[in-house]
Amino acid sequence: MMSRIRAWVESLARGAAPGLDWLGAEAGSLSVDSVPTSPRVRRYLRGGGRGKLDFVVSGREFLDGDTAAAAENLRFFEELGRAMDGAELPDLGEGYVPERAEVLSTAYPVSADGHGTARYQMQCRIYYYESNHDRGAGS
DSSP the chain: -HHHHHHHHHHHTTT---EES---SSTT-EEEEE-----EEEE-TTS-EEEEEEEEEEEEEE-SS-HHHHHHHHHHHHHHHHHHHHSPPPP--TTEEEEEEEE-S--EEEEE-SSSEEEEEEEEEEEEEE-STTT-TT-
Which tens digit of pLDDT belongs to each residue from 56-101?
A: 999 998 877 777 777 888 888 999 999 999 899 999 999 999 999 9
CATH code: domain of residue 63: 3.30.2000.30
Q: Is residue 137 part of a domain?
A: no
Q: Is residue 56 part of a domain?
A: yes
The reported pTM is 0.83
Q: Is residue 65 part of a domain?
A: yes
Owning domain of residue 119: 2-130
Q: Is residue 78 part of a domain?
A: yes
Q: Is residue 76 part of a domain?
A: yes
The whole-number average pLDDT for the span 114-123 is: 86
Q: Is residue 58 part of a domain?
A: yes
Total tally of structural domains belonging to the chain: 1
Residue 139's pLDDT band (cuts 50, 70, 90): very low
